[in-house]
Structure 1
Amino acid sequence: MLPMFNATLFLPQYGEKWYKRNIDSGFNQTIVTGLFLMLSILHLFLYLSHRKKSINLLFSIYAFTMAIAQFRGVFGATKPLMTEQFISSFLFNISAPFAGMVFLYAIYTYFGQRKKALFYILLVCCVLSSVHQFISGDPMKQLSTNLAVVLTLIEAARIGYIGMKKGIQGGTLFFAGQIASVITFLLLPVASIYSPWSFFYLFSYDVAFLIPPLLVSFILARDFGSTNKLLTQQLKDIEGLSAINLAQEQEKRLLLANQNTLLEQQVAARTAELQSSLEDLKQTQAQLIQSEKMASLGELTAGIAHEIQNPLNFVNNFSDVSIELLEEMGEELDKGDTEEVKAITADLKLNLEKIAHHGRRADSIVKGMLLHSRTSTGQKEPIDVNALADEYLRLAYHGLRAKDKSFNADLVTNFGESLPKVNAISQDLGRVLLNLFTNAFYATQQKSKQFTDGSYKPVVEVNTLQQDNSVQIIVRDNGTGIPDAIKDKILQPFFTTKPTGEGTGLGLSLSYDIVVKVHNGTINIESTEGEGCTFFINIPL
């Protein structure tokens, strides 16, 4: 005897009896083993087809393990080299408990039950039953195996009952099958008493083991079929929805294309309208600029007249003197005094030079005003900033004095010596200076009205200097200044602080555009309300 495995050596007197008793069960066991192998392959195929259903993998392992456990009966049809007890105990006692544990775990998983203490107690019972089979000479070992099997079947039936109560698919069928399997297994001892190893006994034994896996396979196969049917229907629904969505998408694309075409047409029409409006706006802007130029020129009419009057007075005076000298020269010729005639001739020549000089002066003033009134050509040329500032300063001053004879101001000029000429548009830069000077005189005039006692003396100062690569023009006055609230607005178009009819609000705006946009320069303002204002203009060389 081998004490651990409860095995005896093969003896001839027992071999024939063993062979005759098991020859009938060998055929049944072969069929059962084949069925379990088929079930194992079936569930493995189901798992590979749908890997999310891990329950199929568990039943594939269970069926394969049961096939190994049942494989022991195949040896019953031949004469083995070892005793029946050794092979049966080794195959069955190792595989069957493991199969029972996998089966119970799979049932818990399928019906969604939490694994509590009872589950682990049954697992321990299965393991102990397996170990118990290897203890030699214990008459209770078969009873422990049967008890473990019955308890496993009963627990599986209980889980099936819970699944049935919850309405889980297959719960009712599984519960009924487990009850049948338990009853069949409990009747096996009775069958073994009256007809041991008969066909009925062997059939009942096989049925008791086959009912649970066959039912589970049927339930899972039906579930697999339902899932496939559902997926097929869902696929058809998706295909139908895809066709509908495709048709809707095509309709949307067609609608979108039509809308895009309509929108493009509307955009083209609107663009044409905007282009026309832009052209009108440009024309209006040009007219406004010209109006501003003419308005500023109108304000200078008196100043221009004053500037022209001075050289005309000189021309008239020297002309009168020249006439008297000619009369005197005629008298001296009659006397024959050639020396006196020469002296008078020299005086006449000097007078004529002065007349020519003041004539050219008047001519330059007229040409400058005509140039100021014309539309800018945009042609830049070297400009003497000092001469330009001096001319427009006096024109602006005399223009205001022509309107208000009581107004007087000190004109302070600090022109930089050897100041380089700047490349600029003469009439545009002159317009900027004229606007700044006019504003400065207006501010000092308004402030002088507040001081009737003569304590206030208006001063307008002009400074020019070279600063790095630019020429800076500084226009400073001691007038009313600019309030802080409107400092950010004074360069905006149409903004003016003058009464209605006295200003267009375009002067400083145009000045900013001329300095910054046309000449790439800068214009900055410093002002204190009630004390005066200073403009800093930088024109690049």
Structure 2
Amino acid sequence: MNFKYDTDLLVLGPAAMLLVLVLRRLFDLPERLPRWNRWLSWLWLPALLAFAYSVVYLRHNSALGEAYMLFVFTVILGTLLRLRSYRPARTLLVGVALVWLKWVIKVGLLLGSYRLLPPYASYYNTGSQLTTLLVIGLLVTARAQKKTLLKEQKQREEEAQARALVAAQNAELERLVAERTAALTQQSEELRKALDDLQTTQSQLIQAEKMASLGELTAGVAHEIQNPLNFVNNFAEVSTELLDELASEQTKPAPDLGLEAELLADLQQNIQKITHHGQRAASIVRGMLEHSRQSTGERTLTDLNALCDEYLRLAYHGLRAKDKTFNATLQTDFAPVLPLVEAVSQDLGRVLLNLFTNAFYAVRQRQQAGEPGYAPTVRVCTKREGDEVVVCVRDNGTGIAEAVQQKIFQPFFTTKPAGEGTGLGLSLSYDIVVQGHDGTLEVESQEGNHTEFVMRLPLFNY
């Protein structure tokens, strides 16, 4: 008896397993459909059993091979339907469905022992070949789609990583900004507190400068007022003696009328001198009161010649009140006819007092250095130049270095030793002249030789 193996299973089985292997790798079934992947991994078993059956029972049945392939494509079709949301699977689904339909028709014809008529058999064979080619083409297309999807997925992952990195960097930047903002806020608070402390200190120093100027002015006034008071006291004592002598003469039996007339003339002259010096003391007191009175900021017509002369003597006697050994030559060159200027006299008086005080301080320092033949001299002159009135204060003292001249009007800058100056006198003077009176205040100096301050004020004619 002739025995024939079921060769259809020998061919179709490996072909089906190869197709399944391709599909498992193409669609990543172990990750996407683990259960279906396990079923597909066992599709070779039915083919092996059918082949064993044909060997054991010596029966050849081609329907087994056809039915096996129908079973394989049924499982593949079900797998693709489960993956229909995946674009490459949708692409291959149509082709597999056509192949599955081909095997359904073929198995149905075998089971019913039917044959297609020649024209339809030719169409069927041609359709089978086309579907096979279609499946191959769709496999290539699905593979290309998978690569595209993987590329897009990788790009999305990279973009997601980039966004995550940007988000992390933004979060880090926000943290750093928050820390920096907190640090800046703290620094701002510290600076605000330092500014408040500085303003408080500045107010105290300004007050100290005012008190120092007032002390110098007071000393000058005290020294200046001492002269008329001495005259008043001396003439009062002499007048008392004359009155006693007159009274004694009048008690005599034969008074000397000529002597009495002479005594009365002396008394009258003394009373006139007492009145003169008393008025002089009163005028000094009035000037002191005007200087100490709070400035209203109202401008009045001011005689700069008189103002310079008054404050020059007050500054000089103020220094002599501190140092009795100090003497200086005062030179004045006032313009004979100097127009009145519109100014706040109290404020300009403070400026002049500060300039004179600094000048006397400079010549005193040079005098104390023991330079042979040195004669302290302070010179004040006034003049008119165009539409301006000019006041020059020059001394032959220690002078100011060129580097220091650039900072001489800065607040809190002083060339005096600690404890002898606040560094606000010239700064306040500069503000009064420049900001308060629309003028200018300049300095020219040669170290070890002289210093000259030039104040210019605009002139207003009426």
TM-score by length of 2: 0.54
Aligned to 1:392: 311
Q: Name the CA distance, whole Å, in 1 between partners of 2:282 and 2:202.
A: 31
| Alignment counterpart, residue 509 of structure 1, candidates 427, 448, 461 | 427
| Alignment counterpart, residue 305 of structure 1, candidates 219, 222, 230 | 222
Q: Is the Cα contact below 8 Å between 2:439 and 2:455 reproduced in 1?
A: yes
Q: Quick check: 1:326 aligned with 2:243?
A: yes
Residue by residue over 1:493-527, the C-alpha shift from the partner in whole angstroms, topping out at 9 and shown as x without a partner, is 00001110000000000000111111111111111
Q: Name the CA distance, whole Å, in 2 between partners of 1:524 and 1:366.
A: 32
1:370 aligned partner, one-letter code: L
Deviation at 1:430, TM superposition (A): 0.9
Q: After alignment, is 374-383 or 425-434 more displaced?
A: 374-383
Q: Name the CA distance, whole Å, in 2 between partners of 1:472 and 1:383.
A: 14
Q: Name the CA distance, whole Å, in 2 between partners of 1:279 and 1:387.
A: 41
Secondary structure of the 1:480 match is: coil
Deviation at 1:276, TM superposition (A): 11
Deviation at 1:392, TM superposition (A): 1.5
Distance 1:338 1:383, change over 3 A: farther
Distance 1:337 1:450, change over 3 A: closer
Secondary structure of the 1:413 match is: strand
Q: Quick check: 1:463 aligned with 2:381?
A: yes
Residue by residue over 1:110-167, the C-alpha shift from the partner in whole angstroms, topping out at 9 and shown as x without a partner, is xxxxxxxxxxxxxxxxxxxxxxxxxxxxxxxxxxxxxxxxxxxxxxxxxxxxxxxxxx
Q: Name the CA distance, whole Å, in 1 between partners of 2:197 and 2:413.
A: 22
1:461 aligned partner, one-letter code: R
* Number of equivalent positions: 320
Kindly report the root-mean-square deviation, in angstroms, between the aligned alpha carbons of the 2 structures.
Answer: 4.9
Deviation at 1:288, TM superposition (A): 3.8
Q: Name the CA distance, whole Å, in 1 between partners of 2:297 and 2:192.
A: 24
Deviation at 1:369, TM superposition (A): 2.8
Distance 1:514 1:535, change over 3 A: same
Aligned to 2:443: 525
Q: Name the CA distance, whole Å, in 2 between partners of 1:356 and 1:277.
A: 57
Q: How does 1:471-510 map to 2 (within 5 A)?
A: 471-510=389-428
Q: Is the Cα contact below 8 Å between 1:479 and 1:533 reproduced in 2?
A: yes
1:425 aligned partner, one-letter code: V
1:387 aligned partner, one-letter code: A
Q: Name the CA distance, whole Å, in 2 between partners of 1:346 and 1:333.
A: 19
Distance 1:337 1:357, change over 3 A: same
- Structure 1 residue runs of 5 or longer lacking an equivalent are 1-262
Q: Name the CA distance, whole Å, in 1 between partners of 2:266 and 2:339.
A: 38
| Alignment counterpart, residue 212 of structure 2, candidates 287, 295, 300 | 295
Q: Name the CA distance, whole Å, in 2 between partners of 1:275 and 1:420.
A: 48
Q: Is the Cα contact below 8 Å between 1:332 and 1:340 reproduced in 2?
A: no
Q: Is the Cα contact below 8 Å between 1:293 and 1:372 reproduced in 2?
A: no
| Alignment counterpart, residue 406 of structure 1, candidates 307, 325, 338 | 325
Deviation at 1:465, TM superposition (A): 1.3
2:224 aligned partner, one-letter code: E
2:396 aligned partner, one-letter code: N
Deviation at 1:372, TM superposition (A): 2.7
Q: Quick check: 1:368 aligned with 2:287?
A: yes
The structure with higher relative contact order (CA 8 Å, sep 6+) is 2
Distance 1:275 1:385, change over 3 A: farther
Q: How does 1:103-142 map to 2 (within 5 A)?
A: none
Q: Is the Cα contact below 8 Å between 1:290 and 1:373 reproduced in 2?
A: no
Q: Name the CA distance, whole Å, in 1 between partners of 2:198 and 2:369.
A: 41
Secondary structure of the 1:457 match is: coil
Secondary structure of the 2:338 match is: coil
Q: Name the CA distance, whole Å, in 1 between partners of 2:193 and 2:370.
A: 53
Residue by residue over 1:260-298, the C-alpha shift from the partner in whole angstroms, topping out at 9 and shown as x without a partner, is xxx9xxx9xxx9x99999999877655543321211222
Q: Name the CA distance, whole Å, in 1 between partners of 2:436 and 2:369.
A: 39
Deviation at 1:305, TM superposition (A): 2.3
Aligned to 2:24: none
Secondary structure of the 2:336 match is: coil
Secondary structure of the 1:382 match is: strand
Q: Is the Cα contact below 8 Å between 1:293 and 1:373 reproduced in 2?
A: no
Distance 1:374 1:277, change over 3 A: farther
1:411 aligned partner, one-letter code: L
Q: Name the CA distance, whole Å, in 2 between partners of 1:493 and 1:274.
A: 19
1:487 aligned partner, one-letter code: Q
Aligned to 1:379: 298
Q: Name the CA distance, whole Å, in 2 between partners of 1:395 and 1:488.
A: 29
Deviation at 1:318, TM superposition (A): 1.1
| Alignment counterpart, residue 317 of structure 1, candidates 234, 237, 245 | 234
Distance 1:279 1:427, change over 3 A: farther
Secondary structure of the 1:539 match is: strand
Q: Name the CA distance, whole Å, in 2 between partners of 1:290 and 1:352.
A: 43
Q: Is the Cα contact below 8 Å between 2:205 and 2:422 reproduced in 1?
A: no
2:322 aligned partner, one-letter code: K
Distance 1:345 1:279, change over 3 A: farther
Q: Name the CA distance, whole Å, in 2 between partners of 1:512 and 1:398.
A: 24
Secondary structure of the 2:441 match is: strand
Deviation at 1:325, TM superposition (A): 2.5
Q: Name the CA distance, whole Å, in 2 between partners of 1:292 and 1:375.
A: 15
Distance 1:347 1:437, change over 3 A: same
Secondary structure of the 2:416 match is: coil
Q: Name the CA distance, whole Å, in 2 between partners of 1:290 and 1:373.
A: 13
Q: Is the Cα contact below 8 Å between 2:409 and 2:426 reproduced in 1?
A: yes
How many percent identity over aligned positions? 62
TM-score by length of 1: 0.47
Q: How does 1:145-224 map to 2 (within 5 A)?
A: none
Secondary structure of the 1:499 match is: coil
Q: Quick check: 1:445 aligned with 2:360?
A: no
Residue by residue over 1:380-431, the C-alpha shift from the partner in whole angstroms, topping out at 9 and shown as x without a partner, is 2222212221121122222222333332211111111122222211221111
Q: Name the CA distance, whole Å, in 2 between partners of 1:387 and 1:484.
A: 33
- Structure 2 residue runs of 5 or longer lacking an equivalent are 1-180
Q: Name the CA distance, whole Å, in 1 between partners of 2:387 and 2:401.
A: 32
Secondary structure of the 1:416 match is: coil
